[in-house]
Structure 1
Amino acid sequence: MITRLAVVTGSSRGLGAALAEHLADRSWNVVACVRTESAAVSIKRAGVEPVLQDVRDPVSEALLAAVHGRPIDALINNAGIGAPARPLEDCDPQTILDAVDVNVAGPMRLTQALLPMLLTAPAPLIVNVSSRLGSLAAQAAGDFAGRRTSYAYRISKAAQNMLTITLAHELACRVRCWAVHPGGLTTAMGASDAHTSPREAAVRLSQLLDSSDTTSPRYLSLEGADLRW
């Protein structure tokens, strides 16, 4: 059996850590990007190779060495940040720039560097872990008007969705590009009404990686149907 390879960013905790562990349990090889030595030590196990890689930085030689030119079946751009929800008069524009750097430029950096290895896989998939709050259609309809969420998070996730669409158009028929809302996760970034554990979301996302659906771009939730862009 051919062992598949996934690169997962933001693997130090939450969904990223749960996904790296679960994929390894399913006989994937996982290159897990973390930002600290302590996180690398905690996540290392059979099938998981931790690499120090902050998505705000250029892709490191260490990450490229870990991939070692092998075909990449799945690039999971999971690393992300938000900002406290504040009214306009108290909102620092720098928080928007910081969020865009991680949530949008980060996935672009990884995709640029790893695209040659993605293109050698039989059915490569880029998953940008997004949010339903990135939907312009839903936001314009007022679906989340009562939810306290920062300008930085909403704007950067909408921009990330546009990145997914743009990549899908450029890489059409070569690499599938999906934006995936993981659901309400019980993590530090999760909402107060979150009810899905990172482990449960990891199981659902790993099943999604087995999908033969060729739709690209695609915007979907792990908790249900496809979403409106």
Structure 2
Amino acid sequence: MTPRRRLAVITGASRGLGKSLVEEFSDAGWAVVAVTRAPTTWADRQQVTAVTHDVRQEPSEELLSAIGGRSVDVLINNAARGAQHAKLGDIAAEGVLNAVDVNVAGPLRLVQAVLPLLLTAPDPVVINIASRLGSLSAQARGDYSELSTSYAYKISKAAQNMLTISLAHDLAGTVRCWAVHPGKLATEMGQADAFKDPQVAARELRELVDSGDRTSPRFVSLGAADLAW
């Protein structure tokens, strides 16, 4: 009997880290459902199924059909939204709410939609792509005070960390839940001090998944020591 191909569902898959994750997991023999807000093709990768979906909406029939009732081994909530840094008087509350919708409510919607399929996998894990900037303890110490980071991004990533903790407690013993800071990625959303190739981060994350680490919740910094919440 042919072994079952493990399945990863990855959001924000059109560019940057998301694209690298699709390539890394599919190259390692996984089946991948690649979720993007705009239509994207993966013609050169037969094991990749492309789905157009905005994580601000409830998961569509198209998305669920692409998964096709298969067990979901890994759900990677990578889609993210921030806002431009602004002075306090110029911060738009709408921008903060939009970031929370994408970075917090989006992962929650996906977990709720695929939870029955996660629970049929032998060793499932939910991974929320996080940020060091969402660490309340680090921010309170002023560790990143020199960076021009928007309220929207910091608030939403801190809230996403609480979502990860809440999911881990609710799903203890059934689904591992990790917040993963991929490193200082040299992507469009990267900070001025960013240098890390997203392909390196994708490989490190896939290796972490394959390690079978049991810690949950966990705030991982790929290639470095775990972060404080």
Same fold by TM-score, threshold 0.5 exceeded? yes
Q: What CA distance in whole angstroms lies between the structure 1 residues aligned with 2:151 and 2:87?
A: 9
C-alpha distance after superposition, 1:39-87 (max 9, x if no partner): x225762211100111011101011111111110000000001111111
Local SS of the residue matching 2:194: coil
* Contact 2:18-2:78 at 8 Å conserved across structures: yes
* Counterpart for residue 209 of structure 2: 209
Specify the code of the residue in structure 2 equivalent to 1:112: Q
Counterpart Cα distance in 2 of 1:3 and 1:80: 28
Match of 1:88 in 2: 88
Give the Cα separation in 1 of the matches to 2:168 and 2:198: 27
Counterpart for residue 17 of structure 1:
19
Note if 1:26 corresponds to 2:28.
yes
For the Cα contact (< 8 Å) 2:17–2:199, is it kept in 1?
A: yes
SS in structure 2 opposite 1:209? helix
CA distance, structure 2, for counterparts of residue 44 and residue 19 of structure 1 = 15
Counterpart residue number, 1:168? 168
Task: Quote the Cα distance in structure 2 between the aligned partners of 1:50 and 1:196.
Answer: 26
Unaligned runs of 5+ in 2: none
Who is 2:63 aligned against? 63
Tell whether 2:165 aligns with 1:192: no
Q: Which residue matches 1:3?
A: 5
Residue pair 2:13, 2:36 contacting (<8 A) in 1 also: yes
TM-score under structure 1 normalisation? 0.97
Note the alpha carbon deviations across 1:105-134, whole angstroms, 9 max, x for none.
000000000000000001100000000000
The one-letter code of the counterpart of 1:28 is W
What corresponds to 2:127 in structure 1? 127
Task: Report the Cα distance in structure 2 between the residues aligned to 1:89 and 1:174, rounded to whole angstroms.
Answer: 45
- CA, structure 1 residues 214+162, in 2 after alignment: closer, same or farther (shift >3 Å)? same
Q: Distance in 1 between matches of 2:67 and 2:156?
A: 28
Q: Which residue of 1 aligns with 2:37?
A: 35
Q: Is the 8 A contact 1:43 1:50 kept in 2?
A: no
2:208 & 2:87 partners in 1: Cα distance? 37
Q: Which moved more, 1:214-223 or 1:5-14?
A: 214-223
Please tell me the residue identity of whatever aligns with 2:185. Answer: L
| Deviation (angstroms), 1:211 | 2.1
Task: Assess if the C-alpha contact under 8 Å between 1:10 and 1:34 holds in 2.
Answer: yes
The unaligned stretches of length 5 or more in structure 1 are: none
| Residues 98, 43 of structure 1: alpha-carbon distance in 2 compared, 3 angstrom cutoff | farther
Equivalences, count: 227
Counterpart residue type for residue 161 of structure 2: N
Superposition CA RMSD, Å = 1.1
SS at match of 1:33: strand
For residue 25 of structure 2, give the secondary structure of its aligned residue in structure 1. Answer: helix
Q: Which residue of 2 aligns with 1:79?
A: 79
